[in-house]
DNA sequence: GCAGACCCTAAGCGCTTGCTCACCTTCGGG
DNA sequence: CCCGAAGGTGAGCAAGCGCTTAGGGTCTGC
């Protein structure tokens, strides 16, 4: 497989966009370790060990441990933004688009909860410069959801007295799935997505 | 003020139950530091420094850094459980009790968001033994909310197809306030409590 | 068939960490 | 007026941290 093919795979296969192979293995190991113990409690020796390499190998592909976190956070936020923007700009009524947005966003947070945990809960460990970059992505994430809500209000589908506040609540609800979701638990990512989409629609629906 | 008076104050004045004075100052300093940087990124020198003491002073009052976290987590979880149980067992219809529970629980997470951040997001840093103890408190927290929902369904006030799932979502929504709430932000704790109580009631309300 | 780019390792450096220890001060009771 | 308990400090230890460096394989293009 060529490098170009790997780039194209990025959307489907997790971390497909990271090459070469050794850099991807290290990044996947870092995601696991960060999700399990948190960024600060994870050592570079632990990451290298999980990837089956020596601690020094890490520094061939990444300048610092923080750069690893930034790469993970950047790719994850790009993916999250892509999901929500696609839903916001897609066809259908506001209710249909909100249903799809929540369903897909929640499913991603459940299915890839290790990644999502790092992406959503380790922002503070980023350098100032990197954090500023990521915060901008989150602003756009917020804007995508707010747009759907505004559309729904305008069309009379939704009754939402406080659009910014409700946007915040909807995103918060979805994001927190990464914290509590357990792959060994009773619910599948699909089931959680369905449950949450239903709850969110009831939160915003106009009374009949 | 006697030790007994300080105990009685616990509910009103934050950390009033911690004595002597030096131990409380250290604990308050630890809460600030843990909330700002996370448990693992906080050094014992940082905690002692914030309390205006030498690093060694910490170990007169606490056996380890982890014991400090456990004390914080325990007190915080006790308070959270107290809020929700009082709401669940209080008077009024299920809707009124749910409104009160969400309003008070959210207000606590916003007002005391430094404490809540530590309490809700640093569970993994506890020792196995301490974590087991805390998880049991969280189980009872969950049970209190579930009881209100079940009461409401039985009384015909609520329409909730999935009570355990909705309980999870309601608690998750409230807890995540601690992550994003900013004291410098536009909303007061009261306003967030009101907004969230409204959203939750719409999530569970029976259609008329 | 070998020069040079690339990838990796063993060893370890300088520093910080959680925590300890010998010692000092303050203070209420006999 | 001295005593022991309680609560504090400065100095520092062993361990572990992020990261660097010197050196050695392996593969590619000429």
> Residue B192 in contact with residue B181, Cβ under 8 Å?
yes
pLDDT tens digit string along A114-154?
A: 999 999 999 999 999 999 999 999 999 999 999 999 999 99
pLDDT tens digit string along B4-50?
A: 444 444 456 788 887 788 899 999 999 999 999 999 999 999 999 99
Share of chain A above pLDDT 90, in %: 87
Nearest-angstrom CA–CA distance, A118 and A30? 10
Query: Which residue of chain A has the CA closest to B168?
Result: A180
pLDDT tens digit string along B40-79?
A: 999 999 999 999 999 999 999 999 999 999 999 999 999 9
Which pLDDT does position B42 carry in this prediction? 96
Cβ-defined contact of A187 to B165 (cutoff 8 Å): yes
Which pLDDT does position A9 carry in this prediction? 38
pLDDT tens digit string along A68-80?
A: 999 999 999 999 9
Which pLDDT does position A19 carry in this prediction? 76
Which pLDDT does position A150 carry in this prediction? 97
Give the nucleotide at minimum CA-to-C1' distance from B61: D7
CA of A73 to nearest chain B CA: how many angstroms apart? Answer: 17
Nearest-angstrom CA–CA distance, A3 and B17? 61
CA of A8 to nearest chain B CA: how many angstroms apart? Answer: 35
Which pLDDT does position B186 carry in this prediction? 93
Q: Quick check: B159 pLDDT over 90?
A: yes
Three-state SS sequence of A11-37: CCCCCCCCCCHHHHHHHHHHHHHHHHH
Which pLDDT does position A20 carry in this prediction? 84
Helix axes B21-37, B113-121, angle to 10 degrees: 70
3-state secondary structure of B15: coil
How buried is A5 (Cβ within 10 angstroms: 0-12 exposed, 13-18 middle, 19+ buried)? exposed
Nearest-angstrom CA–CA distance, A5 and A2? 5
Binning chain A into helix, strand and coil, the percentages to the nearest 5 are 75, 0, 25
Which of A34, A109, A172 is most worth mutating to test chain B (most B CB atoms within 10 A of its CB)? A172
> Residue A137 in contact with residue A81, Cβ under 8 Å?
yes
- Residues of chain A found within 8 Å of residue B124, distances taken between Cβ atoms: 37-38
Give the nucleotide at minimum CA-to-C1' distance from B23: D7
pLDDT tens digit string along A44-103?
A: 999 999 999 999 999 999 999 999 999 999 999 999 999 999 999 999 999 999 999 999
pLDDT tens digit string along A146-199?
A: 999 999 999 999 999 999 999 999 999 999 999 999 988 899 999 999 999 999
Q: Give this prediction's pTM.
A: 0.90
């Amino acid at each position: 497989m060529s490098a170009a093919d790997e780039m194209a795979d990025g959307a489907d296969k997790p971390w497909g966009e990271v090459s070469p192979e050794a850099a991807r293995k290290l990044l996947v190991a870092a995601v696991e370790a960060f999700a399990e113990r948190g960024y600060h409690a994870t050592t570079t020796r632990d990451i290298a060990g999980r990837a089956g390499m020596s601690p020094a190998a890490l520094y061939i592909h990444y300048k610092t441990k923080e750069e690893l976190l930034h790469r993970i956070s950047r790719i994850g936020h790009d993916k999250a933004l892509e999901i929500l923007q696609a839903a916001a700009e897609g066809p259908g009524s506001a209710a249909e688009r909100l249903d799809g947005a929540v369903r897909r966003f929640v499913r991603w947070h459940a299915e890839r909860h290790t990644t999502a945990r790092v992406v959503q809960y380790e922002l503070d460990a980023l350098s100032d410069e990197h954090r500023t970059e990521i915060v901008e992505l989150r602003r756009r994430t917020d804007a995508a959801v707010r747009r759907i809500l505004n559309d729904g209000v305008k069309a009379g589908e939704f009754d939402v007295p406080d659009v910014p506040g409700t946007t915040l609540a909807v995103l918060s609800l979805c994001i927190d799935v990464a914290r509590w979701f357990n792959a060994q638990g009773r619910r599948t990512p699909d089931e959680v997505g369905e449950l949450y989409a239903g709850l969110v629609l009831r939160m915003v629906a106009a009374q009949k």
